[in-house]
């Protein structure tokens, strides 16, 4: 009985707070149209190439060809590695990797920076005696970290457009 009351209270509380999940955007088509208007600058290095491809897949999944109104520039730092779990023979059996990215979204027409932020991702992999297995684990971790950074940037951009849409709707409602 207690759990039923708790569930009912939670439903009532969430319905009145204005909570709107990101994956249930009120006008997802409009967000998709906005994000497809973003051109992504080239990002140097292999990690940059992976990040650009993932951002293009996230921001324009239908691959629609529209006039670009925004340009996204991402500055991706090279991964940094830190030895972890050092054994008695000074052999590190685990390594932590961190990738940091700074990005800005700029209107092409005005040159105004409308969104600027940073994001980073951290992960770890095991170092084993076989160099091939360690290299595979290291590369897979880099790909996973790039995916996390891509998702972070995508969510932030969608949130920006959603907030911008909500502000414009509230201005038209008050007029």
Mean pLDDT of 32-51: 90
Residue 76: is it exposed, middle or buried by C-beta count within 10 angstroms (0-12/13-18/19+)? buried
pLDDT at site 23:
47
Report the range of poorest mean pLDDT among 72-86, 119-133, 135-149, 160-174: 160-174
pLDDT at site 138:
94
The CATH code belonging to domain 26-174 is 3.30.160.150
The residues that bridge with 99 in the sheet, in sequence order, are 121
Mean pLDDT of 99-106: 96
**86 sits in which H/E element:** strand 80-86
Mean pLDDT of 32-36: 81
d(CA 175, CA 172): 5
| Stated pTM of the model | 0.77
Name the pLDDT band for 11 (thresholds 50, 70, 90): low
pLDDT at site 25:
44
């Amino acid at each position: 009985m207690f759990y039923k009351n708790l569930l009912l209270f939670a439903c009532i509380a969430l319905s009145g707070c204005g909570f709107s999940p990101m994956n249930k955007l009120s006008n997802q088509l409009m967000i998709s149209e906005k994000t497809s208007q973003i051109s992504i600058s080239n990002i140097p290095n292999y990690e940059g190439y992976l990040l650009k491809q993932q951002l293009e897949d996230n921001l324009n999944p239908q691959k629609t060809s529209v006039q670009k109104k925004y340009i996204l520039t991402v500055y991706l730092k090279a991964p940094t590695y830190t030895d972890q779990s050092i054994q008695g023979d000074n052999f590190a059996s685990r390594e932590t990797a961190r990738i940091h990215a700074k990005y800005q979204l700029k209107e092409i027409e005005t040159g105004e920076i409308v969104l600027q932020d940073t994001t980073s991702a951290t992960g770890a992999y095991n170092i084993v005696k076989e160099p091939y297995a360690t290299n595979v684990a290291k590369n897979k971790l880099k790909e996973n970290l790039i995916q996390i950074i891509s998702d972070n940037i995508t969510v932030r951009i969608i949130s920006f457009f959603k907030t911008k849409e909500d502000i414009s709707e509230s201005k038209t409602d008050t007029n």
